[in-house]
Every structure is written in C-alpha cells, then in structure tokens.
C-alpha cells in the first residue's frame, strides 16, 4: 500500500518582456523548469553555440592533459579561430579554452580529430551525447557550428540548448572554462592571450558563463548563465540583434521578482529511517503555489540504502521534479550515545 501526503503552500502570471529574438527561453537550471519563452521547440540554426556540446563531449570522453599535435585537418577551418599551425602542440585543455573563449573553428576540428579519431566519429559521439541529455529536436553535422558545403548545418531548439547547458554546467571543468574572462596559453610555438567573447562576463556581475555564436544564416545566437541568491538561470536566444541586453534584462527580471525556494529539505523525515539525500530548490514568483506529493512504498523488506518511494514537486498540475526517498536504517553503533561510545573506547584500551 502506498501512502500519499499532500502539502500546499498561488499563480500570478508575470508580464512577458519584449524580446528581439525569433525564439528564446529562460530556464531554472536547478529544477529544469521553463520560466518563460517563445517558440521554444522551433528548430533553428545555432552557429557556434554548438561548441557547448563539442566542449562537454571532449571533456567527458577525452583527457584534458593530453598533448595534441595539430594536423592537416586545421586547414579546413575558416571563420573565427585561434590560428594554430600544423605541427604545433598544445594540450586538449588549452584547445578547449580556445574553443569556448575565442570560438576557434580550428580548435573545434583539432579537438574532434584528437578525441574522436576523426571529425565524423566525433560528430557521432556528439549526437549520442545530445540524445542522452534529452535533446530530441537537435541534429549535429560538425563540431564548429558552421554551415557545410552541402548546405547541411547544426540545428536545435532553444529548449534543447537550455537542457544542454544545464547538463554541461554540472561539470566543474566546463564551468571553470566558460567563466574565464581571459587566459594566457603557451603552445610549443607561441604564447596566446585570449579574451572571452561573452561580454556579459565582464559587464554583468552575476554572469557565470555561456557561448556566443554568429553566421550570416543563423544570425546572432547566444547562451548565457547567471547566478544570484541561490538562483541559477540559463537564457538562450536565437536570431537576436540585441542579445546581450535581452539576456541581462531577463536575468534581472527574475532575480528581482522571483526567489529560490527550498521545496524539499533533505533533513525532513518522511517516515522511520526514510529521507531524501539532496535538497530541491525551485525558482518561484513570491505568490506561486506548489504542492508536494509523497509516495511511500511498503518497506517490510527494504534494504538499507534502497529507494522506497519519491517526493514529487507539482506546479500548475504537473510534476516538474522529484527526489527519491531512501531507506537508511541506523546501525546499533550509530544509535549509541556519546557516553556509551566513550565507555566502550576506554574499556578497549
């Protein structure tokens, strides 16, 4: 038999700002809740925001300490670059900084060749990673974001790119790279000084990362993240000539009018020896209403550490997130008082 518990804690719609983008989204990175958007499932060209997927794929499947020797593939690069030369050696980590700070298309090809063995194999890895993340309306044909000679190009939705960024920002090394404003890199041939093209990192104190993009067909694409008062947001815009201002205004709108609420507390007991192991935060308008639904299974034969139910967070009638409930029976030793443990310790010695 399952036990159900409902806790209620209103929904006032917030006025949507005028945004220049053909499609955009604001997502709470902690819960994955879509706070605002337009045409969020419309597939579009994404230009160099592609490199978010290139970077996280390389970080997860490659060794950032590897020394990469630039090969002939770099000759196929055009557009923005870090201008490495054939035979030049630098680490995969250095190439990732060149990829994300300077949007190096040559760096993208060098990374793909090294990590995947070939551009084609690396692109296969990128698409697999995208599917794993849940990017259902995305397709990738290269690691740079440029249009191919046959007219094919990387396409995604703002929703998918927000999902990707939410996933990538869980990786500590990725966060470190995209939050870097400038860096000096030494290769076997040169010393580079790179500045991040994401202007919000320097002009907006709460910005924590992101990636710019532009091609003549895609126009301006931009992904940025920002954090304030335990609120972590991602904004994605496609075809937006006023993107940096739009992103800052959207961040300010939610930082000033919403709050991050702990809706599930890991210290709450949901039964004898039953609890969650992580807090759950949700970005809410101060008047919004949420519900907590606790589903607890029979625990007669529950094993220590096993999942025995879940705590669901419900907003506007939909489950938008949950935490698993774990059975954690304390051992006899854990239940003993400090004095009892001290006496046993003295006896032992």
CA dist., res. 36 & res. 250, Å (int): 9
CA dist., res. 84 & res. 90, Å (int): 9
- Which tokens in the block code for residue 276? 């969650």
- The answer to whether residue 276 scores a pLDDT higher than 70 is yes
pTM of the model: 0.86
Instruction: Tell me the DSSP string of 178-189.
Output: HT-SEEEEE-SS
- Which tokens in the block code for residue 80? 């923005």
- Boundaries of every domain in the chain: 3-11+261-332, 23-241
> In the prediction, which pLDDT does 337 show?
57
User: Facing residues of 5 across strands?
Assistant: 294
- Mean of the pLDDT values across residues 308-334? 84
Lowest mean pLDDT among 73-87, 114-128, 229-243: 73-87
Instruction: Identify whether 103 is a catalytic site residue.
Output: yes
- Which tokens in the block code for residue 299? 């625990």
Neighbouring residues of 294: CB distance < 8 A, sequence distance ≥ 6: 3, 4, 5, 270, 309, 310, 311, 312, 325
Exactly one of 44, 103, 138, 144 is catalytic; which is it?
103
> How many other CB atoms are found less than 10 A from the CB of residue 120?
11
CATH fold of 3-11+261-332: Peptidoglycan synthesis regulatory factor (PBP3), Domain 2 (2.60.410)
CA dist., res. 27 & res. 320, Å (int): 12
- Helix-helix angle 51-61:158-168, to 10 degrees: 30
Among 241-245, 306-310, 313-317, name the most confident range.
241-245
Please count the residues of the chain: 349
- Mean of the pLDDT values across residues 176-204? 97
- Helix-helix angle 51-61:105-116, to 10 degrees: 30
> In the prediction, which pLDDT does 281 show?
92
CA dist., res. 128 & res. 98, Å (int): 24
Exactly one of 23, 31, 44, 48 is catalytic; which is it?
48
Neighbouring residues of 236: CB distance < 8 A, sequence distance ≥ 6: 24, 25, 27, 49, 158, 161, 162, 165, 222, 223
CATH architecture of 23-241: 3-Layer(aba) Sandwich (3.40)
Exactly one of 31, 44, 51, 253 is catalytic; which is it?
51
Summary mean pLDDT of the chain = 90
Q: Is the dihedral of CA 174, 179, 185, 191 positive or negative?
A: positive
CA dist., res. 141 & res. 153, Å (int): 6
CA dist., res. 270 & res. 89, Å (int): 56
Q: Which DSSP state fits 61? A: H
> In the prediction, which pLDDT does 303 show?
86
CA dist., res. 176 & res. 159, Å (int): 23
Instruction: Identify whether 48 is a catalytic site residue.
Output: yes
Among 162-166, 266-270, 330-334, name the most confident range.
162-166
Instruction: Tell me the DSSP string of 25-59.
Output: EEEETTT--EEEEESTT--EE-GGGGHHHHHHHHH
Q: What angle do CA 246, 249, 253 make, to 5 degrees?
A: 135
Q: With pLDDT > 90 as the criterion, what percentage of the chain qualifies?
A: 79
DSSP reduced 3-state for 206: coil
Instruction: Identify whether 51 is a catalytic site residue.
Output: yes
- Which tokens in the block code for residue 280? 């759950």
Question: Beta strands of 72-148 (E only): which ranges?
Answer: 89-91
> In the prediction, which pLDDT does 5 show?
45
Neighbouring residues of 63: CB distance < 8 A, sequence distance ≥ 6: 92
């Amino acid at each position: 038999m399952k036990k159900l518990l409902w806790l209620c804690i209103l929904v006032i719609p917030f006025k949507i700002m005028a945004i220049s983008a053909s499609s955009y989204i604001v997502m709470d990175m902690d819960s994955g809740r879509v706070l605002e958007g337009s045409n969020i499932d419309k597939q579009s060209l994404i230009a160099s925001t592609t490199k978010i997927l290139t970077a996280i794929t390389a970080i997860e499947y490659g060794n950032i300490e590897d020394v990469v020797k630039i090969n002939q593939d770099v000759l196929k690069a055009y557009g923005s670059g870090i201008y490495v030369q054939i035979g030049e050696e630098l680490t995969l980590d250095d190439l990732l900084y060149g990829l994300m700070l300077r949007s190096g298309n040559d760096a993208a090809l060098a990374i793909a060749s090294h990590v995947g063995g070939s551009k084609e194999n690396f692109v296969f890895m990128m698409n697999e990673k995208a599917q794993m993340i849940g990017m259902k309306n995305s397709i990738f044909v290269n690691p740079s974001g440029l249009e191919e000679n046959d007219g094919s190009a990387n396409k995604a939705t703002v929703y998918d790119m927000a999902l990707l960024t939410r996933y990538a920002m869980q990786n500590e090394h990725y966060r470190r790279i995209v939050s870097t404003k400038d860096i000096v890199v030494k290769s076997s041939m040169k010393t580079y000084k790179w500045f991040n093209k994401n202007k919000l990192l320097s002009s907006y104190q709460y910005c924590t990362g992101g990636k710019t993009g532009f091609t003549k067909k895609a126009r301006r694409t931009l992904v940025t993240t920002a954090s304030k008062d335990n609120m972590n947001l991602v904004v994605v815009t496609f075809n937006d000539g006023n993107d940096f201002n739009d992103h800052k205004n959207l961040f300010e709108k939610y930082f000033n009018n919403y709050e991050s609420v702990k809706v599930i507390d890991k210290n709450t007991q949901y039964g004898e020896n039953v609890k969650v192991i992580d807090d759950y935060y949700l970005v809410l308008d101060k008047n919004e209403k949420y519900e907590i639904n606790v589903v607890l299974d029979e625990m007669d034969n529950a094993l220590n550490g096993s999942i025995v139910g879940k705590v669901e967070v419900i907003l506007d009638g939909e489950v938008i997130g949950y935490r698993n409930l774990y059975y954690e029976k304390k051992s006899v030793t854990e239940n003993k008082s400090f004095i009892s443990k001290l006496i046993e310790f003295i006896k032992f010695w």
